[in-house]
A and B are shown apart, each in its own frame.
Chain A
């Protein structure tokens, strides 16, 4: 069955530093992949998605992610962190058995220090 692993439940960076949030999936079939962001006391907001077009996907707020089939990874990056990026980030993948559902990782909380 499909699964998603987000390495690191907490990541801390300084403002202006590179942000790297890791996501690995398990699937023999290239899935659709998503990153969502959740700000405090809010719902999840779509950040970006990979749907088998370009492997480098650009999202909102300067984030991007690269689909690497050989590594079964879809890591999220941003060159320069901003205080407003502090939030929880979830990686998700379409289920290989039921493509109408998403499988979510357990989330990574990003802290940004001044």
Chain B
């Protein structure tokens, strides 16, 4: 019944540190997405994945790395965090291969990241 979860919900880190944000979905959706939300910019796509072992860049991929070894997990790693990466990060999933196939995305609760 969990749907899509993100961890941690809040994270404070320092410039230069590596940080990994986790995303897990229980629906077996084929597609998963990572967005960042910043004031004045709305939601911007960082990376997305069409299936396990298939990932692609979105609008703002620089400084981020993703992997998808299992359908249900889609971790986002900031290899060397910078202050400009302070943001709220949202994970989403979509059942484009089945269901209604209309691109509806279902969002996690978000991770608030502060880089000092």
Contact = CB atoms under 8 A, between A and B. Distances in A.
A104 interface: yes
Contact of A100 (B42, B43, B50, B106): B50
B109 A100 contact: no
Interface size class of A (residues with CB under 8 A): 20 to 34
A101 B102 contact: no
Nearest to A107: B42
Contacts of A99: 103
Given A32-B102, A43-B109, A44-B107, A104 B42 contact: yes
Contacts of A107: 42
Given A43-B109, A43-B110, A32 B43 contact: no
B102 A42 contact: no
B40 A100 contact: no
A75 B104 CA distance: 18
Interface of chain B: mostly helix, strand, loop or mixed? strand
A43 B105 CA distance: 11
A90 B90 CA distance: 14
A105 B45 CA distance: 12
B107 A43 contact: yes
A100 B106 CA distance: 13
Nearest to B105: A102
